[in-house]
Every structure is written in C-alpha cells, then in structure tokens.
Structure 1
C-alpha cells in the first residue's frame, strides 16, 4: 500500500463506506477501489477528485506527509461500538491529529506535556483519589474554584483535545502519540457531559492504581473530584444533608460545569447524603428522563482554540494560504467580518 493508497483507504473508512459503496459513487468496481488502496493502480487526477468528493476530503489530503498511529486507544462509550463505528472514529481522529501536527510544524510551536510523575499519583483506595485531583489542580495553578474552560487548561499543559463528530454512543477516546496523551471527545454533547468525559480521561492518564481498584470507578471518582473538589462541595452543601433541592443541583451544575446527577453521586461518595437518598434521586432522574436530558438550560460545550489560533496566525503571517488554512481546518473558512457568523470550529 503506497501513500495515496493508504490515504484512500483512510478516507473511505472515515466516511463509513464499503469498497462496493465507494465504487458505486465514483463509477468503478469494488475491485478497482481495492487496487487503488493497495497501490496496484494509481488514480489519475480526475479520479482522485471524485474520490475526494465522495469522502468529503480535499485533494491535498491524499498527499499529506504526516502519518499518525493511535497507540493504546481507550474508548469511553455509553454502549459498545461496532467495528465500523470504531473505524470511522479512528479515521476522523487520525485526520484531525495529522492536521494539528502539521500546523505545529509550520508554526514551529509545540506545548510540552506538563503533568506530575505518575508514581506520585498512586492510589490504594478510592478516597486517595481526592488528594490526587487536588494535586493536579495545584500543579496547574487552578486553585479550588470552578474551572472556566477545561479544554484550555488541558491544552495549556500539553494535552491535545479534538472534537469528533461521531456515533451518539461515543463519548471519548484517549491514546498516545509519541508518548504524549491525546484526547478526542464527542462533539455534539452537553458541556457538562463533555467536561466530565475529559476529566474522566485525565484520570485514566494520570492515576497509578492499586490493582484491586476498578479503573472505571477510579476515573469516575477522579472526574468528580477534579471538577468540584471535596472542600468546595462541602462548602456549597455543608458536611451532612438529609436531602438536596433540585434547584441547588441546577445552580451548582452551572457554577462548576458538572451534571446534576454527577453532583448527587459526588455527594454520596463523600457521605454528604446517605446512599438511600442518592438512590431516590437516581430513580427520579430515570423516571423523568433526566438521565438523557437534565432540566433547565443546558451547560454550554467548550471547544479547543489552540489549533485554530495557530492556523489563523500562520495565515495572517502569510506562512500558509487561505486555501491551505481551510485544508488544515478541515472545512471552508468563514470570515466573521464578511457575514457576521462565527469562525467554524476545527473538528474531525
């Protein structure tokens, strides 16, 4: 498989097309598509444009030099994903990261990872995780107050974050590139869920766990502790409560960027409320459909800005053309001065 063949294969997988389906779109047999991917036939320029159109890629994509492999991929999903859905997410994530690495190379700018040594984040119990979450906050100079923009905090300390338009069952994917952690998160989800997913993945990255601790429970505990530390939730709710008003949960959700249900879980973890009270809330949430959509105004989602700013800066300094900037964005640029709309987000 040569470079163009590899790119055709990746583009097809990212679009979720079979060999036959792509062949029908571009007007050739599935055997021909297979030969393109294996490098046995090199498509001419006209055919390459048809392939690009069928996969929503620019022709430049097929000549891109950066190659990325996802090492140690770890999916977070509400329900298991099939191979086709994983292939789509994989291809979109690789495409996004290749563009990110390209603009870093053009800009000669890279943020090094800034995390405590993992051996200093060892937990023998779930309770130990509370202190580790505060340790990370202190390491990043975040204090104990609500974190305004979690994605910015991650990117400022060397963890790349990308938004991926994917299957509704997908939440997040963590992997390593050149030994550095990278997180891809679902694009079209509420902001509180997005932030919890990010904090959950950070837990997987940083925690050094006693083998007897369940990794998912540990990451879940870390996410809650990172978003609203023990000292702060006890300040907000006090040490012991018999119940919590739903309006309290709603206001704390919008103050700390953590879902109402996760706040109930957090209060139960810290024994602020008895387990039986938490169970009563879980049942109420389930009965009223709040597990899928919590009441009131949604918490707004965040978006990565570092990659966007690198692209726009490179264009302003004439290091790249506008067309090249659009290719790195992954979609056409929108000029806010011309039509009043926001710049389109870089995504997978």
Structure 2
C-alpha cells in the first residue's frame, strides 16, 4: 500500500478510545508516534484522514494492530448507571479507564459468545425494577439474597464459588489488574448485557468474593436507577451501604451463620472464616448486624484485628483459593476450538500483550493466548 494513500475507513473515535484507555494526552501521543498533536485531534474528530504511515505510527504507540483502527468492529457502548467500588479519592480518569478496559473485554467476549452461540441473562425476574431511587429496608435486602439462594438451591450454608454463581445468573465476570486505577470492582451494562469486573491484583479470595457479591447487589437492587440518580452523592452513599448489606446477607445468611456461631472469640472466628470463605472483618460485621455478636464483643474483636494489623491482610488469606471465571473456558472446551479466541483477537486487531493483567493463558489455548481473563501468575 502506498504510504501516502488516504484510508477513508479510518475510525477517529476508536483512536480517541485507545488514547484514553492508555492514559495518553495529545501531547504524549505526539511524542510517542511523531504525529503532531493538532493532527491527532483532527483525526479523532474525523476532520482529516491519516496516511498509512501515520496509522502505523499511532498503532505502534498505542500497542494495537492497525486493523483495530481500520476494521468495522465497534467498541460496545455502556448504558445506564455504572457502579464503582473504589477508594474515596480515586480520580475520575482512573475509573473511566477501568470502564474502557471492561468495554474492550466486552467487545471480545461478545464476538466470542456469538461464535459459540452463548446467551446472556439480561432480565432477572426477582430484581428490583424500580426506576426511581427509594431507600430499601433490611428485610427487603435479606429477602433478595434469599431469592438468589433459593433459585440455585444453595440452602443456608457457604457459597462454594461466588464467581460461578454470578456466571450462572448470565452475568459476565472479568478479573483484571485495576491496581493502577485504584478500583476494587465495577458493574456496567454494555450493549444491554451486564458485566462485573473486579480487581484481582494482590487481593485475597475472600475480599474478591465480597466484592463480587457487592456488585451483584447493585445488579439486583439498583440497576434500573437512572445514571443521573446514581451520580448524586447522597444516593450513592445509600446504595453502597445497601450493596454491602446484600453481600453480607448473601454470603452469610442468618440461619446458617447462627447455627455455626457457637462462640465469638477470635480463635473461633478464624475457623468460621475458612468455612464461610468470608473475611474476619465481614464475619464480625455480619454477626453484630444480626445480633449474634454484641457491640462490646464486636469492639473487642475489631481492636484485636487492628492490634494484629489484619485490616489489609488476614490469617488464611493465602489458603483460600481464588475462584476464577470459568464460563467461557467451559464453552470453549465444549466447542473444541482452542484457536477461536486467537482468531477473534486477530480479527479485532489486538496484540497478545495489549491488556495488563487480563489473560486467558490458563485455558491452554496454544500459541498467542487471548488476553481476556486473569491468569494464575
């Protein structure tokens, strides 16, 4: 192809998407690509079409194949409110980048799902379908958690695999390295399909289980609220508390925990952690919440947690295994086409090392494994 030839099917909005995803300014991309920042701005606005040399330079700088910028694949769009489980002072650009990572995952997931004839669950009958925010009482949230347990006949005991439970609800789960974005988890609807993405970098399994349950709470309790409603600080504070309550109720139902909590000393609470696969802090909070632990006992237990520096890393954190997503893995095994993810990746124009912390490498898909889900590294 003549380097001076203009390529009329170049997608300017995809260039802007990639630039934002990579956290590049116009000026920083200028330095990396040798394409002037003013020209990049005009390209993104579709005011001019780049030459092939410029496309190649921009693609190299952004670590994608030129195909990504030239093909007809559209990056899926979000719809409705987005829920973030984040640090208090996380910059807006950070959680926006986490959203962009999830949209890239959705692009690959939806192409793969189409090839494998996989379905999504976009309507959960027992979910709260109210569109106007209204504070939910504890009984309602407890009953919502029981509805989930009832649907899958989970009884009153521990949930063996929280990730699998969410996947069985038809929700796609993404494990990713969101440490740079300071995000624990997010829930978003992309092309009318629910996605829950959780940080898997240096996070214990019990914390990830709670984060997953928390995000499922948003899907079931708040997903019909408008984006404008959820953005209100007063509303967000309440729905975060409700999602936390749901997570505790789902992971540790009243009857089951009451039968098991025959003592409230720290030695016994640690044993409960291994059984329920919930953090010591979550067990103490839930026990006090449902009056199995008095306020005075809870205070003493929290003081013990602080004294032992267990707020970030608790006993047995390394012994409880992480529950990796398995839905796509199982579908690929059933289909028997181990090269399909790589083919889709090549069609989209994404290199193997595009993602940071997202991989399919544990699927043993052969050379050029698709970088989708978190590997066991």
TM-score, normalised to structure 1, is 0.84
The yes-or-no answer on 1:187 pairing with 2:187 is: no
| SS across alignment from 1:68 | coil
1:206 equivalent in structure 2 = 220
| SS across alignment from 1:174 | strand
The CA distance in 2 between the partners of 1:36 and 1:154, in whole Å, is 41
Instruction: Tell me the alpha carbon deviations over residues 263-300 of structure 1, each in whole angstroms, 9 at most, x when there is no partner.
Output: 11011001111112212222332343211111344233
The yes-or-no answer on 1:18 pairing with 2:18 is: no
1:245 equivalent in structure 2 = 266
Instruction: Tell me the alpha carbon deviations over residues 98-135 of structure 1, each in whole angstroms, 9 at most, x when there is no partner.
Output: 11111112222213346333359998531442232122
Moved more, 330-339 or 104-113: 330-339
1:115 equivalent in structure 2 = 124
| SS across alignment from 2:296 | helix
The CA distance in 2 between the partners of 1:154 and 1:22, in whole Å, is 39
| SS across alignment from 1:75 | strand
Equivalences, count: 340
The CA distance in 1 between the partners of 2:49 and 2:105, in whole Å, is 25
The yes-or-no answer on 1:307 pairing with 2:315 is: no
CA 345–24 in structure 1, closer or farther in 2 if over 3 Å, else same? closer
8 Å contact kept, 1:58–1:327: no
Gap regions ≥5 residues in structure 1? none
Instruction: Tell me the alpha carbon deviations over residues 198-247 of structure 1, each in whole angstroms, 9 at most, x when there is no partner.
Output: 111111222379x9993222211110111121111111113xx5x3224x
The yes-or-no answer on 1:53 pairing with 2:79 is: no
The CA distance in 2 between the partners of 1:184 and 1:321, in whole Å, is 20
The CA distance in 1 between the partners of 2:219 and 2:371, in whole Å, is 26
2:4 equivalent in structure 1 = none
| SS across alignment from 2:185 | strand
CA 344–3 in structure 1, closer or farther in 2 if over 3 Å, else same? closer
1:94 equivalent in structure 2 = 103
Instruction: Tell me the alpha carbon deviations over residues 66-110 of structure 1, each in whole angstroms, 9 at most, x when there is no partner.
Output: 332222112111323212212311211111111111111222221
CA 116–315 in structure 1, closer or farther in 2 if over 3 Å, else same? same
8 Å contact kept, 1:81–1:169: yes
8 Å contact kept, 2:345–2:370: no
The CA distance in 1 between the partners of 2:120 and 2:103, in whole Å, is 19
Q: Aligned to 1:220, which of 244, 269, 291?
A: 244
1:284 equivalent in structure 2 = 304
CA 66–153 in structure 1, closer or farther in 2 if over 3 Å, else same? farther
Moved more, 164-173 or 85-94: 164-173
* Alpha-carbon shift at residue 32 of structure 1 (Å): 1.9
The CA distance in 2 between the partners of 1:50 and 1:143, in whole Å, is 57
The CA distance in 2 between the partners of 1:317 and 1:293, in whole Å, is 38
* Alpha-carbon shift at residue 327 of structure 1 (Å): 6.7
8 Å contact kept, 1:103–1:310: no
TM-score, normalised to structure 2, is 0.78
1:165 equivalent in structure 2 = 177
CA 31–119 in structure 1, closer or farther in 2 if over 3 Å, else same? closer
Moved more, 194-203 or 139-148: 139-148
Gap regions ≥5 residues in structure 2? 1-7, 225-233, 354-359
The CA distance in 2 between the partners of 1:13 and 1:290, in whole Å, is 37
The CA distance in 1 between the partners of 2:197 and 2:211, in whole Å, is 10
| SS across alignment from 2:84 | strand
The yes-or-no answer on 1:35 pairing with 2:59 is: no
| SS across alignment from 1:207 | helix
| SS across alignment from 2:11 | helix
| SS across alignment from 2:214 | helix
CA 32–338 in structure 1, closer or farther in 2 if over 3 Å, else same? closer
CA 300–118 in structure 1, closer or farther in 2 if over 3 Å, else same? same
2:142 equivalent in structure 1 = 130
| SS across alignment from 1:91 | helix
The yes-or-no answer on 1:85 pairing with 2:99 is: no
* Alpha-carbon shift at residue 313 of structure 1 (Å): 6.2
The CA distance in 2 between the partners of 1:317 and 1:336, in whole Å, is 9
